Amino acid sequence: MKTAGFDLIDATTAIVAVMVYEEAKAVEFAEKLLNEGIYVIGFSYPVVPKGKARIRVQLSASHTTEDIERAAKAFISVGKTTGIIT
């Protein structure tokens, strides 16, 4: 995901934050991913500071390599259509 251009908050847990910064972009991003069959949560103010909106992704041992690859492809596609990445 970082290689694709996403800004990730480094974590040592199964929860990964993908920064999108703008609230409207976080909402749009989450909706578009849901249309791709990927359920994520968009967080924005007041849950996080203004200007620090993000998408929360939670990985688990039940996710297969194929699940993760499909999600990454969907993130990249949606990231490009929303202008989060180029």
Write the CATH number for 26.
3.90.1150.10
With H, G, I as helix, E, B as strand and everything else as coil, classify residue 51. Answer: coil
Write out the two tokens for 15.
């929860």
Whether 2 maps to a domain, the answer reads: no
Total domains in the chain come to 1
pLDDT digits (tens, 9 = 90+) for 10-36: 878 889 999 999 999 999 999 999 999
Tokens 């972009």 -> residue: 25
Write out the two tokens for 4.
């694709």
List the domain range (segments joined by +) for residue 38. 7-82
pTM of the shown model: 0.90
Among 81, 82, 79, which residue's Cα sits nearest to residue 5? 79
Whether 1 maps to a domain, the answer reads: no
pLDDT digits (tens, 9 = 90+) for 56-83: 999 999 999 999 999 999 999 999 999 9
DSSP 19: E
